[in-house]
Amino acid sequence: MLEALLSGLIQVFSWPAIGYLGLGIVLGVWLGVLPGVGGVTGLILLLPFTYTMDPVSAFALMLGMFAVTTTSDTIASVMLGIPGTAASQATVMDGYPLAQKGQADRALGAAYTCSAFGGVVGAIVLTLSVPLIKPILTLFSTPEYFMLSLLGICMVGALSGSSMSKGLVIGAFGMLLGVIGEGSFNGEARYYFGVEYLLNTPPLVGVVLGLFAIPELLEMATRNTSISRVDQDQSQGGGMMQGVRDVFKNWWLVLKSSTLGVYIGMLPGLGASIVDWAAYGMAVQTTKGTNRFGRGDIRGVIAPESANNAQRGGALIPTLTFGIPGDFAMSILLGAMLVQGLRPGMEMLTTKLDITFAMIWTLIIANVVSALLLMAIGRQVAKAIFVDGHYMVPVVILFVFMGSWLGAQSMGDLILLWSMGVLGLFMKRSGWPRPPLIIALVLGPNMENSLVISNRIYGTLGWLERTPSILIGLVIVLTIAATAMGVLKKSRAKPTSANALDGKLSVEGGERNAFVAILLALAFVAFFAAAIYFAQDFHPTNMQYPVAVSVAALFLLAIVVFKELGVARSEIAALGDFRQAWSRAYEKARLGVGLKFVLWVAVAVFGCWLIGQKLSIATFIFAYMIVWGTKPLWQAAVFAVGGYAFITLFYDWTMHIPFQRPFLLGLLGN
């Protein structure tokens, strides 16, 4: 084994493998920064170039790029409050509030350092675990995958936001979105209403960008502010090196999170989706002084960033040893293995062990080098939080529109983006947490498949007698109970003096507005009731899951409405009149200007259909800077032309993605 370990290292440092590794790292840094692009797109683009390479060089290029995206995607999570990938959702919880405090460089410094440590520690744990891998993987079957998915959704629902009931309702909403399209039994189409776009599950990237990006862009557009809520000379406790020191101070958390990341990464279909939240939940439950989590606690950055980098190594194991790709990215890597003449199985742990270790060394080197590279430029990147928001919005909106288009490359993607943006606006302004929707949408389809298969094999709910399922069920109960006790303890605690900045932070699920929350709750009641009604026409196997989810959600919604009605009645009593109470709630939520902004986005979406993406996005940028930003005409023109040129050069000429055919062009007969 030691000989194979050294042989793998030598092969990685041999030419041309080391050159391809460097190229992969640079590409990974670039692709990870762009919202909606990420590592999967990079793997698709690079795969054809690896056909004539030797195996070590091919995987140096692909894994070097892929591993780095979980480091560079932190920039979007911290700077914009937009999860760069599904594995960086939890980083938003504390990373973005730190940026709003003017401490983005501290958050980035900590993230890059623990990413490097997480990748190295994860690889070491992975290497030591090779003899134990097969027994661990064979312990889990479909019932355990269902229970682990349920654990992930419950954990996120319980940890994100100040109301556990709201978090679980949003998780159920995401689970129902995941059943849109073909059912798990006989391919029956569900909830598609004759719309071809709805024959498939809504693309994740459009949902993420709509829920998170549109509301945050709205904040910058309407409050005339930068990302930071304080001036540069007023920020305290920041600095890149402070983030590095934070990592060394919390070394035990890094070690725990990295180890957890490796073993969660081994779970096919689950690892990348739940790893950051599992680490975040562990940090909340096992560290002292957790009252600052969600408001800019650096430990809320360290834990998920350590885990998601270590997860990459763990995800390789089922792919290499069983030929079971954990996700779409691993499917692409599996295809690359087959092209190179490598067969997954015991061969990769015996005669081809040196290539397996070469892949592990690639992950280690890529994580360390990318962290150093990003640290070198991180200070300059962090300064963007103090830039006038009216210069940031046009740039980000370009990536949001084009990133969403990469989902299914249909106008449905842009309509989905806008719809999720409206929903995200109402959720943010009324204390409904958004992260549970994302993880539930990711896990929902696999969850239903696992449930259907488990019921067939073990009988309906007979699989609950399996010991691993029972243990995971206990963890779910303990997670919900511990969170409920924590919420109750906080509600009974005496109020303490808070930082004056806390009221300005974009704390996930932290805003409270009973009237808007009730409106949204009633909308969810109608949604889940309609889901039950339309499910009556489905095959019984395809009906059970959405009906069960909807019934549970309606029960939780009753709790939410009861609590919010109590708050609303108190506000009406204080003001003496319902109309005054509603008017105050409307102004507090700033719905007027918010709806005006999403109307602008709707016009831009319509423009993409009418005149095409390039002209529509460039026109939006120009009009925004003139009307909202009140910038000089020449600056608006420069930004608009630059946006048009970038879309053409990168998305059109480099990525070769198809664009929407303009309706007006069709009228002209071209």
Q: Please list, in sequence order, all residues whose beta carbon lies within 8 angstroms of the beta carbon of residue 533, skipping any fewer than 6 positions away.
A: none
Q: What is the CA radius of gyration of the chain?
A: 24
Q: From CA 316, how far away is CA 463, in angstroms rounded?
A: 28
The structure tokens listed for 62 are 């692909």
For 484, how many CA atoms within 13 A lie in the half-sphere containing its CB? Answer: 9
Greatest alpha-carbon pair distance for the chain in Å reads: 80
Q: What is the pTM of this model?
A: 0.82
- Signed CA dihedral, 81, 37, 75, 248: sign only: positive
Give the C-alpha distances (Å, rounded to integers) separating 581 from 105, 428, 511, 593. Answer: 41, 20, 17, 19
Write down the pLDDT at residue 1: 66
Instruction: Mark 299-327 as b/e (b = at least 16 C-beta within 10 Å).
Output: bbbbbbbbbbbbbbbbbbbbbbbbebbbb
Q: From CA 465, how far away is CA 112, in angstroms rounded?
A: 43
Q: From CA 43, how far away is CA 404, in angstroms rounded?
A: 18
Instruction: Pick out the chain residues at pLDDT < 50.
Output: 494-498, 500
Tokens 């309706």, located at residue: 663
My answer on whether omega of the bond before 394 falls inside 30° of 0, hence cis, is no
Q: Please list, in sequence order, all residues whose beta carbon lies within 8 angstroms of the beta carbon of residue 522, skipping any fewer than 6 positions away.
A: 561
Secondary structure class of 449 (helix, strand, coil): helix
Secondary structure class of 181 (helix, strand, coil): strand
Write down the pLDDT at residue 130: 63
Write down the pLDDT at residue 487: 58
pLDDT (tens digit per residue) in 450-506: 888 888 888 777 888 888 888 888 888 887 787 767 656 655 554 444 454 555 555
**N residues, the chain:** 670
The structure tokens listed for 318 are 């089922």
Cβ proximity of 220 and 81 under 8 Å: no
pLDDT (tens digit per residue) in 116-142: 887 777 777 767 766 666 666 667 778
The structure tokens listed for 121 are 């520690």
Write down the pLDDT at residue 132: 66
Q: From CA 585, how far away is CA 320, in angstroms rounded?
A: 55
For 579, how many CA atoms within 13 A lie in the half-sphere containing its CB? Answer: 0
Reading phi first (left if > 0) and then psi (alpha if -120 to 50, else beta), residue 85 is in beta
Give the C-alpha distances (Å, rounded to integers) separating 149 from 61, 170, 277, 541. Answer: 32, 15, 12, 19
Write down the pLDDT at residue 237: 57
